[in-house]
Amino acid sequence: MGMTGVLRPGHAAIRVLDMKEATHFYGEVLGLIEVGRDSYGRVYYRAWDERDHHSIVLREADSAGIDFFGFKVDSVATLDRLEAETQAYGLKTSRVPAGDLLQTGERVRVEIVSGHTIELYAEKGKANSPQMVDNPPPWNSESERGIAPIRLDHALLYGPDIEKVQDYFVKVLGFYLTEQILMEDGKTQLAIWLACSNKAHDIAFVRHHEPNKLHHVSFLLDTWEKVLRAADIMSMNKISIDMGPTRHGVTRGTTIYAFDPSGNRFETFSGGYQTYPDWDPLTWTWDEVGAAVYYHDRALNPAFLEVVT
């Protein structure tokens, strides 16, 4: 049960430039499981240990990036309540009818001040099979194909007014701030990490002059060794690696950043700490920003701030 009524990140809708290239990458290299295609040409995937129908939706488009990022809530009553509270807060909402995404119920869509579209939904079809839930093995054939992440973990989004984004996520959706990086003045936030659970984060934002930009979608692996294995698979398939394998100071997670064939950055991530809403957020100052992002190198790769889709 989510602490706030928001359970977890539920899906990311990603724009790709060439669907044939994208389906090979997401299916065979990343190792997600294709679960369906719809009449709009969108392709749906889930990670091997996820219980809902899908977590990734691909749409072919003229530009790469993200269409929306969705969170699952614990009930239709919670969905209705959060919609009303979002409207009372001063943000407009719209309803997307059930069935617009495969096996997904009605969704509440909100455009936040960073320009991103956030969705909330309560109902999605299950991916459970007897092999997944009855006397399950610790791994199966799907967990050995490609990189094979466990689940969609989080997204990092770039846009303006992230302090206002934080205000909405905290006051309305019940998230809490787990970490932050401050700019040179020691007050203005460069980046924020927010959680609705006891993970290190479920979504993060970096201050950026352009709205509605994607930095990365992140997939969870169970161990550092699996991150190293992911690096091997990326190199074997000539995937463009941005940074890593390395460790973050923020979240303490181990990581690789790389790019899909359309130029969308993705992360393979493991580790990170557990946190709770009554904890004070961890703060990184500008003089340690390099270690905050890349703890081993202790230097910030300029592409981390500049390359987005």
Q: What is the pLDDT of residue 100?
A: 96
Catalytic residues: 154, 201, 216, 248, 257, 267
Write the CATH number for 96: 3.10.180.10
For residue 172, name the pLDDT band (cuts at 50, 70, 90): very high
One domain, residues 160 and 52: no
Judge whether residue 45 has pLDDT over 80. yes
Domain holding 129, by residue range, is: 6-143
Residue 188: count other Cβ atoms within 10 Å of its Cβ. 12
Lowest mean pLDDT among 10-24, 78-92, 164-178, 269-283: 269-283
pLDDT in tens, 276-287: 999 999 998 888
Q: What is the pLDDT of residue 2?
A: 53
For residue 141, name the pLDDT band (cuts at 50, 70, 90): confident
Q: What is the pLDDT of residue 56?
A: 97
Q: What is the pLDDT of residue 129?
A: 63
One domain, residues 171 and 117: no
Domain count of the fold of the chain: 2
Lowest mean pLDDT among 8-12, 143-147, 194-198, 290-294: 290-294
Judge whether residue 213 has pLDDT over 80. yes
One domain, residues 193 and 292: yes
Provide the percentage of residues in the chain whose pLDDT is more than 70: 98
One domain, residues 137 and 56: yes
Is 293 in a helix, a strand, or coil? helix
Are the C-beta atoms of 213 and 161 separated by less than 8 Å? no
Single out the residue in 143, 175, 204 at which a domain terminates. 143
Single out the residue in 99, 125, 143 at which a domain terminates. 143
Q: What is the pLDDT of residue 259?
A: 95
Following DSSP, what letter does each residue of 100-142 receive, concatenated? SSTTB--EEEEE-TTS-EEEEES-B-B---HHHHSS--S--GG
Structure tokens at 51: 């219980």
Residue 138 lies in a domain: yes
One domain, residues 89 and 131: yes
Task: Give the angle 115-180-13 at the CA atoms, nearest 5°.
Answer: 35
Residue 26 lies in a domain: yes
Residue 1 lies in a domain: no
